[in-house]
Amino acid sequence: EVQLLESGGGLVQPGGSLRLSCAASGFTFSTYAMNWVRQAPGEGLEWVSTISSGSGTTYYADSVKGRFTISRDNSKNTLFLQMNSLRAEDTAIYYCAKMSAYLGSYPLDYWGQGTLVTVSS
């Protein structure tokens, strides 16, 4: 059974940093691209970032480019999102999601339960 378990969310002041983690199990983690998708309170889904199966390729939404860094440790089956210079508009539930192949034109076939990030003074 595929499981994705996010952690690391919490309350942070504007300008602060936070590192999210996503522990994966039930599939060959190193074979699949992984993603972060967020959802602001009462809003829709927004793609944030994607990393290829081997970490060689990363993509970011314009709204987080230069502030967020996605990475992965295939030896530990874990996905990360380092978030710096956080803003109030980054407040959201952050979901870890597995792409159904190594990268590209594929849907997100499994999602974690999410971790809440609140940016507020």
Partner 1 sequence: EIVMTQSPATLSVSPGERATLSCRASQSVSSNLAWYQQKPGQAPRLLISGASTRATGIPARFSGSGSGTEFTLTISSLQSEDFAVYYCQQYNNWPPWTFGQGTKVEIK
Give the integer Cα–Cα distance in Å for 114 and 13.
Answer: 20
Nearer to partner 1, 45 or 77 (CB): 45
Q: Taking CB under 8 A as the criterion, which residues in 51-90 touch partner 1?
A: 59-62
Give the integer Cα–Cα distance in Å for 5 and 72.
Answer: 14
Q: Does 47 bind partner 1 (CB under 8 A)?
A: yes
Q: Does 16 bind partner 1 (CB under 8 A)?
A: no
**Rounded (to 5) percent helix, strand, coil in the chain:** 5, 50, 45
Nearer to partner 1, 17 or 28 (CB): 28
Please identify which residue in the block is written with the tokens 């199966």. Answer: 53
Binding partner 1 (rule: CB under 8 A), the pick from 5, 21, 46, 69 is 46
Q: CA torsion angle for 107, 33, 68, 8 (degrees, to 10)?
A: 90
Q: What's the min distance (Å) between Cβ of 113 and partner 1?
A: 5
Total chain residues near partner 1 (CB under 8 A): 24
User: How distant is the alpha carbon of residue 104 from its chain centre?
Assistant: 16
Binding residues for partner 1, per CB under 8 A?
35, 37, 44-47, 50, 59-62, 95, 100, 104-114
